[in-house]
Amino acid sequence: MRILALESSCDESAAAFLEIEGGRILHLEEVVATQAIHAKFGGVVPEIAAREHSVTIPHVLDVLAQKVVGVADGRKLGEAIDLVAATRGPGLITSLKIGLETARALAFAWGKPFVGVNHIAGHVAANWLSGAPLEFGTVADAEAFPALALVVSGGHTELLLMPRQGEYRLLGATRDDAAGEAFDKTAKLMGLGYPGGPKLAALAKHGDMTAFEFPRPMINEPHYDFSFSGLKTSVRYFLDKNTERFSDDKFMADVAASVQSAIVETLVAKAIRAAKAEGVKTIALAGGVSANVELRETLVREVSRKLPDVRLSLPDFRFCTDNAAMIAMAAYFRSEGGKKFDDWTDAGADAGWELGR
Ligand code: KG4
Ligand code: ZN
């Protein structure tokens, strides 16, 4: 089965081609273009993002066609596709529409079935793109579920229980800022620029995570919700009191490491508790913040120490932040391997689409 997927929910314009046969990935091609323009505004500006997508989506499609059929020819690309997919939500409504409406029009023009994908389901599906340990196919699937997905992106922080592939039950979510936002906002307070997550993580490498004590909100409460806005406020007060130390590289690295540690510890503690309570076989990390090395290493350490029988899946670094390969993979699961499709005439953008509620 050959899938074309488009992703445009935020500030990445992406297209991918995924060929799956007999439970094996035979061929994967992808193109991702990140919109650089938002850096000067310190965050994604929705109206600008949508305009950029309308310029970039045709280009990524062209480049993808060259990779897949050797020429930027839509008719030839159409002949090489069995299923067209796109992100329907959640995300920025006008941005979503650019990729989604392009995909729907292609499905109609090519006479191919269409599947609209949930962006978070895409992040989770990225775990199945990397091969081991979640190779799909019936045996591996039986061993993988029930699974727990720890979703940590710029807009979402969620613990999702997956009784089986494609089924989600929300155990808990952030009540305010997402984990990615906590990284981005504290990075901004520290003057590190945008996008702040990777910058804060890079600075934290040289710092001492025990240097300063920042709050770990709700870490010991029995529910699975998160709250990161208090952490941001506490960092702001702390920085306001220490402005004269901003030029001290060691101080800034220590702050970065301490903030990162507060976020990571909270995420890992709740995920371990939920995994234990639900008796899952797998913990799968998902979303842009899954690229964070401290989070990955802490999960590896804590899962092997506290849940030695649970398998931990970490997506490949190239599939952590927004991309279309993960959307193609999720489309494969949503279509149940090419058996169930959405009506393309009735698959409009759903900016607030929530999984598992
Ligand atoms: O999943 P994603 O690409 O977009 C959304 O769906 O939101 O996630 C983007 C988020 C941003 O907040 C970014 O700062 C964060 O992921 N991020 C990181 C790292 N790489 C990306 N946060 C911490 N450490 C990283 N290495
Ligand atoms: Zn995302």
pLDDT at residue 95 greater than cutoff 50: yes
- Write the residue with the smallest CA distance to atom 10 of ligand 1: 154
Q: Which protein residues touch ligand 1 with a CB less than 6 Å away?
A: 10, 123, 153-155, 180, 183-184, 195-198, 201, 287-289, 291-292, 321-322
Average pLDDT value for residue range 97-124: 98
pLDDT at residue 232 greater than cutoff 50: yes
Average pLDDT value for residue range 288-312: 97
Q: What are the percentages of helix, strand and coil residues in the chain, rounded to 5?
A: 50, 20, 35
Percentage of the chain beyond pLDDT 70 is 97
In sequence order, what DSSP letters do the residues of 162-189 get, joined into one string? Answer: ESSTT--EEEEEBSSS-HHHHHHHHHHH
Tens of pLDDT along 208-229?
999 999 999 899 999 999 999 9
- 354 CA distance to ligand 2 centroid (A)? 13
**Ligand 1: which of 321, 322, 327 to mutate, judged by most atoms within 8 Å of the beta carbon?**
321
Q: Which residues pair with 226 in a beta bridge?
A: 174
**Ligand 1: which of 95, 119, 153 to mutate, judged by most atoms within 8 Å of the beta carbon?**
153
User: Which amino acid is located at 289 in the chain?
Assistant: V
Mean pLDDT of the chain: 95
Q: Spell out which residues have Cβ within 5 A of ligand 2, the ion.
A: 153, 322
Which atom of ligand 1 lies closest to the CA of 12? 3
DSSP-H helix ranges across the chain: 46-69, 74-79, 93-110, 119-125, 138-144, 179-189, 196-204, 229-241, 249-278, 293-306, 325-334
The reported pLDDT for the residue numbered 138 is 46
Contacts of 221 (CB under 8 A, 6+ apart): none
CA distances from 186 to 23, 59, 191, 259 (A): 42, 34, 9, 8
Tens of pLDDT along 258-295?
999 999 999 999 999 999 999 999 999 999 999 999 99
Q: What's the full length of the chain, in residues?
A: 357
Percentage of the chain beyond pLDDT 90 is 91
Average pLDDT value for residue range 185-207: 95
- 191 CA distance to ligand 1 centroid (A)? 17
Ligand nearest to the CA of 205: 1
Tens of pLDDT along 7-66?
999 999 999 999 998 778 899 999 999 999 998 888 899 999 999 999 999 999 999 999
pLDDT at residue 152 greater than cutoff 50: yes
**Ligand 1: which of 96, 118, 123, 289 to mutate, judged by most atoms within 8 Å of the beta carbon?**
289
The three-class DSSP label of residue 5 is strand
